[in-house]
Structure 1
Amino acid sequence: MLLVGATMTACSGGEDDAAQVSAPKAPATIPELTTDPVTLSFVWFEWPPAQALEKFANEEYKKVRPNATIKVNTVPNANWHDAMFTQFAARKTDFDIAILDSQHIGEAVTNGNILDLTDFVKKNIDVNAYDPYLLAAYGQFPQAETGKRDENASLYGLPLLGDTWTMIYRKDLIGDQPPQTWDEMISAAQKCQTDHPGVSGLAFHQANGSDAAAVTYNTVNGVYGGNLWDAKAKKIEGVLNDAAGQEAMDVLVNKMKPLTAKGSGNWFIDEVNAAVAQGKACIAFNWIAASGGLLDPKQSTLGKSKEEILGKLGFATLPKQKTDLVPLGGMGMHVSAYSPAANQAEALNFMKWFEQADVQKKWAAAGGVPSRTDAIQSPEFLNAGPFNQVYADSVPRMRDMWNVPQYARLVDIENTGVNAALNGAKKPSDALNDIAREQQAVLDSSGKKGGGGL
Structure 2
Amino acid sequence: MSNAQRDRRSSRQGRTVRAAAATTLVALTLAACGGGGDNDADADDGNADAAGPAAPATIPELTDEPLDLSFIWFEWPPAQLLEDFANAEYTKERPNVTINVNTVPNANWHDAMFTQFAARQTDFDIAVLDSQHIGEAVTNGSILDITDFINENIETDAYDPYLLAAYGQYPQAETGQRDESASMYGLPLLGDTWTMIYRKDLIGDEPPETWDEMIEVARQCQEDNPGVSGLAFHQANGSDAAAVTYNTVNALYGGNLWNRAEGQIEGVINDEAGQRAMDILVNDMKPLTAPGSGNWFIDEVNAAVAQGSACIAFNWIAASGGLLDPAQTVLGETREEILEKLGFATLPTQDTDLVPLGGMGMHISAYAPDERVAEALNFMRWFEQEDIQKKWAEAGGVPSRTDALESPEFLEAGPFNQVYADSVSRQRDMWNVPEYARLIDIENTNVNAALNGAKDPETALDDIAREQQAVLDGDGGL
TM-score range, shorter chain: over 0.9
Q: 1:266-323 CA deviation, whole Å, 9 max, x = no partner?
A: 0000000000000000000000000000000000000000000000000000000000
1:364 aligned residue: 393
**What displacement does 1:22 show?**
2.1
- Among 270, 275, 278, the residue aligned to 2:304: 275
- The AA in structure 2 aligned to 1:271 is E
- Among 337, 342, 357, the residue aligned to 1:328: 357
**Residue 287 in structure 1 maps to residue 311 in structure 2:** no
1:343 aligned residue: 372
1:170 aligned residue: 199
**What displacement does 1:17 show?**
5.7
Aligned-partner Cα distance in 2 for 1:238–1:213? 21
Aligned-partner Cα distance in 1 for 2:136–2:48? 12
Aligned-partner Cα distance in 2 for 1:232–1:19? 18
Q: Is the 8 A contact 1:101 1:330 kept in 2?
A: yes
2:14 aligned residue: none
1:235 aligned residue: 264
**What displacement does 1:6 show?**
11
1:297 aligned residue: 326
| Bigger mean CA offset, 15-24 vs 181-190 | 15-24
**What displacement does 1:5 show?**
11
Q: 1:311-360 CA deviation, whole Å, 9 max, x = no partner?
A: 00000000000000000000000000001100000000000000000000
- The AA in structure 2 aligned to 1:181 is T
- The AA in structure 2 aligned to 1:422 is L
Aligned-partner Cα distance in 2 for 1:258–1:339? 49
Q: Secondary structure at the match of 2:295?
A: coil
Aligned ranges for residues 195-234 of structure 1 at < 5 Å?
195-234=224-263
Aligned-partner Cα distance in 1 for 2:226–2:437? 40
2:471 aligned residue: 442
**What displacement does 1:435 show?**
0.4
Q: 1:138-164 CA deviation, whole Å, 9 max, x = no partner?
A: 000000111110011000000000000
**What displacement does 1:23 show?**
1.3
**What displacement does 1:21 show?**
2.6
Q: Is the 8 A contact 1:303 1:309 kept in 2?
A: yes
Aligned-partner Cα distance in 2 for 1:146–1:92? 33
Change in 2 beyond 3 A, CA 1:183/1:37: same
1:28 aligned residue: 57
% identity of equivalent residues: 78
Aligned ranges for residues 40-439 of structure 1 at < 5 Å?
40-439=69-468
Q: Is the 8 A contact 1:181 1:321 kept in 2?
A: yes
Change in 2 beyond 3 A, CA 1:311/1:445: same
**What displacement does 1:90 show?**
0.6
Q: Is the 8 A contact 2:47 2:140 kept in 1?
A: no
Q: Secondary structure at the match of 2:273?
A: helix
Q: 1:380-432 CA deviation, whole Å, 9 max, x = no partner?
A: 00000000000000000000000000000000000000000000000000000
Aligned-partner Cα distance in 1 for 2:455–2:51? 42
**What displacement does 1:446 show?**
1.0
Q: 1:183-218 CA deviation, whole Å, 9 max, x = no partner?
A: 000000000000000000000000000000000000
Q: TM-score, normalised by structure 1?
A: 0.96
Aligned-partner Cα distance in 2 for 1:415–1:148? 27
Q: 1:236-278 CA deviation, whole Å, 9 max, x = no partner?
A: 0000000000000000000000000000000000000000000
Q: Secondary structure at the match of 1:265?
A: helix
Count of paired positions: 443
Aligned-partner Cα distance in 2 for 1:262–1:16? 43
Aligned-partner Cα distance in 2 for 1:258–1:137? 34
Aligned-partner Cα distance in 2 for 1:55–1:253? 41
Change in 2 beyond 3 A, CA 1:398/1:262: same
Q: TM-score, normalised by structure 2?
A: 0.91
Unaligned runs of 5+ in 1: 8-13, 450-454
- The AA in structure 2 aligned to 1:289 is A
Aligned-partner Cα distance in 1 for 2:128–2:143? 11
Q: Secondary structure at the match of 1:41?
A: strand
Q: Secondary structure at the match of 1:311?
A: helix
Aligned-partner Cα distance in 2 for 1:71–1:275? 31
Aligned-partner Cα distance in 2 for 1:283–1:405? 35
Aligned-partner Cα distance in 2 for 1:413–1:268? 17
Q: Is the 8 A contact 1:241 1:436 kept in 2?
A: yes
Q: Is the 8 A contact 1:15 1:446 kept in 2?
A: no
Unaligned runs of 5+ in 2: 1-29, 37-42
**What displacement does 1:18 show?**
3.9
Aligned-partner Cα distance in 2 for 1:21–1:3? 22
